[in-house]
Amino acid sequence: MVANNFKRPDFNLLITLDVLLAEGSVARAARRLRLSPSAMSRALARLRETTGDPLLVRAGRGLVPTPRALELRERVSRLVQDGKSVLRPAEKLDLKRLVRTFTLRTSEGFIENFGPSLIARIGREAPGVRLNFEQKPDKDSAALRDGLVDMETGVVGKSAAPEVRARALFRDRFIGVVCKGHPLSKGKVTTGRYIAAGHIRVARRGQERNPVDEALGEAGLERNVITSVGGYSTALALARASDLIATVPERHTGILRAGMHSFTLPVPVPEITVSLMWHPRFDGDEAHRWLRGCLLEACAKGR
pLDDT at residue 135, as a whole number:
84
Question: What are the pLDDT digits (tens) for 5-24?
Answer: 556 778 888 889 988 888 88
Please check whether residue 104 lies inside any domain of the structure.
yes
Please check whether residue 3 lies inside any domain of the structure.
no
Residue-range definition of the domain harbouring residue 178: 174-270
Main-chain dihedrals φ then ψ at residue 108, nearest 5 degrees: -60, 145
Is 287 found in the same domain as 152?
yes
Helix (H), strand (E) counts: the chain? 10, 12
Q: What is the CATH number of the domain that holds 215?
A: 3.40.190.10
Question: What are the pLDDT digits (tens) for 162-174?
Answer: 788 999 999 999 9
Please check whether residue 290 lies inside any domain of the structure.
yes
Is 104 found in the same domain as 60?
no
CA distance 11 to 161: 36
Please check whether residue 2 lies inside any domain of the structure.
no
pLDDT over 60 at 105, yes or no: yes
Please check whether residue 202 lies inside any domain of the structure.
yes
Is 230 found in the same domain as 280?
no
Is 277 found in the same domain as 141?
yes
